[in-house]
Amino acid sequence: MLVRAVGLQKSYRDAEGPIPVLTGVDLETKPGEFVAIVGSSGSGKSTLLNVLGLLEHADAGDLWFDDVRVSHLSRRAQARVRGSRIGYVFQAFLLISTMTALDNVLMAARYLGRDRRVALDEANRLMTRLGVAHRTGHYPAQLSGGEQQRVAYCRAVLNQPPLVLADEPTGSVDDEHARVILEELHALARQRKTSVILVTHRPEPAAEADRVLRLRDGKLVRA
Amino acid sequence: MRDRQLPVRLRALLPKGYLFTVLGIAVGVAGLVTLGAMAERIGRFIEGGDRFVLGQISVAGEGMGMGAGFTAGGLLRAAKIAEISRVPGVAAVQPQVMLPLRTSTSQFLTLTQELVMGADMNVPMPNRNYQVLPVRTGRFLQPGDRGVAVAGNDFAASRGLRVGGTLTVDGATFKVVGILDKTLTAPDRFAFVSIDDARDLWLRRDPLLVQVFGAGNLSRADLNSGAAVGWRPGEDPDALARRIQSTIGGLNVTIPGELSRLLRESTAFFSALLFGVGVLGLVIGGLSLSNTVTAAVFERIRDFGIKRALGATDLQLLREVLGEALGVSLSGGAVGVALALAIGFLVDARSNGQQIFLFSWRLLIFTLVFALILGALAACYATLRIVRLSPAEAIRRGT
């Protein structure tokens, strides 16, 4: 197993007390598996993805990567896992506005301490393949939504992580760009044996997944 | 690759969106520097006065005083000066005439009053700390000079005096032969003339003195408002001053040590003001700077969340933020210093020859170091606050 989550729980607090979001999520994914998690808006899909991606802590439960229990690692060690093992594609792209497209992509390699020249070659190849090579020197505000998402995708896969988490990756782009991103994610799973976990509230992106799960009442069930 | 990186690195020093941060810091730093420069100016003035009184024993005749300046007291006649010079330990006695330039305002703002100072140039300047006054252009007074004047820096600036020009005092015209460099203390507001010229001025403006002089009881050499007494090497000036006082009657002798203490006491208000101004400058400038840097870091909380999602460790982020904070603080500090210098020069230029600000190197260096340290501390504080959040929470808060 690449990822194994057991009994993940997460709740948020408001003035009236805790609001449970995840009430015991169990999940296992194999290398090269494309898993789609569907659910209505507000069902906790993004929260689940954040917990799986070590972007926030679960209140309870355990998370393993390659049989290493990562949910209880130190902050520094978790940062290393995020940088080397996980790639994120967010619905809102989350590019840094003061950096060029190329620097946004290279940022992933920088924190991992990779050789800059090697990373630059790979970034250029990736951006060329995704059709944004002519935009390397542009800032996010100068790019269309589709271009921003492709740049964000390049950033997510530059370090060739074994796990890619995609949070509504097609939610903010038109159909043509959505198709490109989805094809890339599927190719990643097929060719590089990358595990892809995609969350979406729409049925189309989930259609070609190896497995479709539904988040209902804070738990994952087969769709 | 290298070509591509250069602009990026430059931007990293002053990243996009940091303009207002730099300006915010600049305003705080400018406040700190201008207040500090005022404090430096007052401090230098007091320090200069203190050095002066510790460099000589000032003697005047007994009585209420007819002149002005450092030698408060009555007329000091030539016979008394001769007696003083015979006291063991005395190296030199220089007769002097100090007169307020404007009699009507002589008692106001004594720290900055303008004086006409007549000194007997046949005797070398006995003040150990001011044996030679720095001349910017022209020359200083020489023995035998008549009808010439050497103007202090502020005195000259306020009147637009130049070497070769003329200065008129109470109807008497003097040719300006020298302009002094800035001393940042009393001589900046002096006009130096020969002692004989000063005696003439004194007679011209004081009818009582004319009557006494006309009665034949006084010679010109008796017309001294005081004298500066120098001591031989190894002599204790305070002990010598007391010896002069006890040996010769009818004198007002200032004890250098006591006068220094009195000067410090009388300027205690200015010292307190100086301290207050300095503290105020530090507080205003410091708060402004740290608040601006902290706010700038918090504004980018989303970016930090993204970077942590991409694998940045706390240390990597801290290093990055520190680098940016130092760059921004240094830029803001430099702009602030330039702003303060511009304000200072503009205000001084419109202050009728008075220098209100003193931008010393130590002030400017201290300010830049202070800005860097405070900027770094503020950046560290803000970063440590941010890394305590989960990356997801940082992204949420910044979106």
pLDDT band at B278 (very low <50, low <70, confident <90, very high): confident
Structure confidence by residue, pLDDT tens digits, A199-211: 998 888 888 899 9
Per-residue confidence (pLDDT) for residue A196, from 0 to 100 = 96
| Cβ–Cβ contact B306 with A under 8 A | yes
Q: Tell me the C-alpha distance between B78 and B222, whole Å.
A: 5
A-chain residue closest to B2, CA distance: A117
Please name which of B209, B369, B392, B388 lies closest in space to residue B289, comparing C-alpha atoms.
Answer: B369
Does the pLDDT at position A217 exceed 60?
yes
Residue A131 covered by a domain: yes
Instruction: Provide the chain A residues 34-53 that lie in CB contact (below 8 A) with chain B.
Output: 50, 53
Residue A13 covered by a domain: no
Cβ neighbour number for residue A98 with a 10 Å cutoff: 18
Residue A61 covered by a domain: no
Q: Tell me the C-alpha distance between B27 and A165, whole Å.
A: 45
* Chain B residues near residue A102 by CB distance under 8 angstroms: 4
Structure confidence by residue, pLDDT tens digits, B16-31: 557 777 888 888 888 8
Size of interface A-B (CB pairs under 8 A): 73
* Chain A residues near residue B313 by CB distance under 8 angstroms: 75-76, 79-80, 111
| Cβ–Cβ contact B234 with A under 8 A | no
Query: Looking at the DSSP assignment, which residues form a beta bridge with residue B174?
Result: B167
Does the pLDDT at position A150 exceed 90?
yes
Residue A123 covered by a domain: yes
Q: What is the CATH number of the domain that holds A216?
A: 3.40.50.300
Instruction: Tell me if B11 and A98 make a contact (CB, 8 A cut-off).
Output: yes
Per-residue confidence (pLDDT) for residue B75, from 0 to 100 = 84
* Chain B residues near residue A120 by CB distance under 8 angstroms: 1
How far is the alpha carbon of B311 from chain A, nearest alpha carbon, in Å? 4
Residue A62 covered by a domain: no
| Cβ–Cβ contact A84 with B under 8 A | yes
Per-residue confidence (pLDDT) for residue B154, from 0 to 100 = 87
Tell me what the mean pLDDT of segment A93-113 comes to.
Answer: 93
Pairing of strands B190-194, A211-216: unpaired
Does the pLDDT at position B258 exceed 90?
no
Per-residue confidence (pLDDT) for residue B3, from 0 to 100 = 36
* Chain A residues near residue B11 by CB distance under 8 angstroms: 98
B-chain residue closest to A94, CA distance: B306
Specify the residue for token string 């789609």: A36
- Our count of domains for chain A comes to 1
B-chain residue closest to A119, CA distance: B1
Paired tokens of A97 = 């506005």
What is the extent of the structural domain holding A207?
A: 27-56+72-222
* Residues B213, B217, B219, B223, Cα dihedral to 10°: -60
| Cβ–Cβ contact A9 with B under 8 A | no
Residue A16 covered by a domain: no
Structure confidence by residue, pLDDT tens digits, A44-86: 999 999 999 999 999 999 999 988 999 999 999 999 999 999 9
Residue A64 covered by a domain: no
Closest residue to A82, CB basis, from B302, B311, B393: B311
Per-residue confidence (pLDDT) for residue B108, from 0 to 100 = 45
How far is the alpha carbon of A19 from chain B, nearest alpha carbon, in Å? 16
How far is the alpha carbon of A210 from chain B, nearest alpha carbon, in Å? 26
pLDDT band at B105 (very low <50, low <70, confident <90, very high): low
| Cβ–Cβ contact A155 with B under 8 A | yes
Does the pLDDT at position B137 exceed 70?
yes
* Chain B residues near residue A65 by CB distance under 8 angstroms: none
pLDDT band at B73 (very low <50, low <70, confident <90, very high): low
Does the pLDDT at position A109 exceed 80?
yes
Tell me what the mean pLDDT of segment B76-86 comes to.
Answer: 92
Q: What is the DSSP letter of A182?
A: H
* Chain B residues near residue A83 by CB distance under 8 angstroms: 310-312
Instruction: Tell me if B311 and A112 make a contact (CB, 8 A cut-off).
Output: yes
Please name which of B56, B38, B71 lies closest in space to residue B270, comparing C-alpha atoms.
Answer: B38
A-chain residue closest to B391, CA distance: A55
Instruction: Tell me if A98 and B310 make a contact (CB, 8 A cut-off).
Output: no
Paired tokens of A77 = 């060690």
Does the pLDDT at position A26 exceed 50?
yes
Please name which of B118, B252, B127, B277 lies closest in space to residue B195, comparing C-alpha atoms.
Answer: B118
Closest residue to A56, CB basis, from B16, B315, B393: B393
Instruction: Tell me if A79 and B314 make a contact (CB, 8 A cut-off).
Output: yes
| Cβ–Cβ contact B109 with A under 8 A | no
Tell me what the mean pLDDT of segment A92-104 comes to.
Answer: 93
Q: What is the mean pLDDT of chain B?
A: 84
Per-residue confidence (pLDDT) for residue B65, from 0 to 100 = 55
Of all residues in chain B, the percent with pLDDT exceeding 90 is 37
Residue A194 covered by a domain: yes
How far is the alpha carbon of B161 from chain A, nearest alpha carbon, in Å? 56
Please name which of B317, B314, B309 lies closest in space to residue A81, comparing C-alpha atoms.
Answer: B309
Of all residues in chain B, the percent with pLDDT exceeding 70 is 90
Does the pLDDT at position A170 exceed 90?
no
B-chain residue closest to A86, CA distance: B310
